[in-house]
A and B are shown apart, each in its own frame.
Chain A
Amino acid sequence: MKTKKDDRISAFFYAQHGKIGEDTTERMEFMDIEYNGQRRALIVRLDAEVDHHSAAQIRESVDAQFLRTKANHIIFDFSSLQFMDSSGIGLIMGRYRLIRPLDGKIVLAGVSEQLDRLMSLSGIYK
């Protein structure tokens, strides 16, 4: 699985195809989903406790935006994350399955030390 735990957005995105679709931002109580047409990337900022309960809602919103924008990449920004358990790992792996056929990437940004321990356990950086 190609993921990067890098606070900067990879230069990879700048090298992508021209802009498709309008840049948009959807704001919800527990997250923002921004679409960057230039980079064909969805930027998902989670301001939430990610567990089995909330993962269902997050998944639904991200997938709806993914289908609407035809994004190639998904950037998860965890800098405002309040909690995450292995349901979040399932959520990330599920989105990876969505973008894999598009040759897309998942980028994990704002990963705290605690979250890094969880991610490392699951081998998600591979």
Chain B
Amino acid sequence: MKNEMRLLFDAHSSNEAFARTAVAAFVMQLDPTLEEISDIKTALSEAVTNAIVHGYEEAEGVVEVHCRVEGRSITVSVTDTGKGIADIQKAMEPLYTGKPEAERSGMGFTVMEAFMDSVSVQSILNEGTTVTMEKQLRAHDARGTLFSAAETNHSEA
């Protein structure tokens, strides 16, 4: 079964926590492990922060988060209509940051790539950026077994 949701919110740093919580709540339908939830929240936080800090440079703007689940696969994309990225390959290098003075670590894309299965970036200078991330959640064998065991008990009773 496929299920989708979209969030649109102002590019305020206080909305970073909101976006993480909302996406985590949506993904709960797949009954993810704590580690999977944490991975998704961290990657999402990186992309949303980048939209706010780099896309809009902390000025006004709207961030869109699109989240889609199908089977046990989740796709999250984060879009801004801000300044765009001139050199995507360079931007994605570990430790590269366009804002060293702001105590950015330059590890955002590296974290997204480590915590999700795939990350792709589409960007046009002065038009904006979309980061799309995918993750396949682990199959729920153990839980499926538990469920059918409970059902068996129930029918026996």
Residue numbers of A with Cβ under 8 A of B are 49, 51-53, 55-56, 59, 83-87, 89-91, 93-94, 114, 117-118, 121-122
Contact = CB atoms under 8 A, between A and B. Distances in A.
A39 to B, nearest CB: 26
Nearest to A86: B107
B105 A53 contact: no
Contacts, number: 66
Nearest to A120: B114
B107 A121 contact: yes
B101 to A, nearest CB: 11
Contact of B110 (A83, A90, A94, A121): A121
Contacts of A117: 114-115
Contact of B103 (A59, A118, A121): A59
Nearest to A95: B103
Nearest to A89: B105
Main secondary structure of the interface of A (DSSP, over half): helix
30 contacts: A51-B17, A51-B20, A52-B13, A52-B16, A52-B49, A52-B53, A53-B13, A53-B17, A56-B13, A59-B103, A83-B20, A83-B38, A83-B41, A83-B45, A85-B46, A85-B108, A86-B46, A86-B111, A87-B104, A89-B105, A89-B107, A90-B103, A114-B35, A117-B114, A117-B115, A118-B111, A121-B94, A121-B107, A121-B110, A122-B110
Contacts of A55: 103
A52 B20 CA distance: 13
Sorting the interface of chain B by its residue count into under 10, 10 to 19, 20 to 34 or 35 or more gives 20 to 34
B105 A90 contact: yes
Interface in B37-71: 38, 41-42, 45-46, 49, 52-53
A87 B97 CA distance: 12
A106 to B, nearest CB: 14
Contacts of A90: 102-105
B148 interface: no
Contacts of A51: 13, 16-17, 20, 45, 49
Contacts of B41: 83
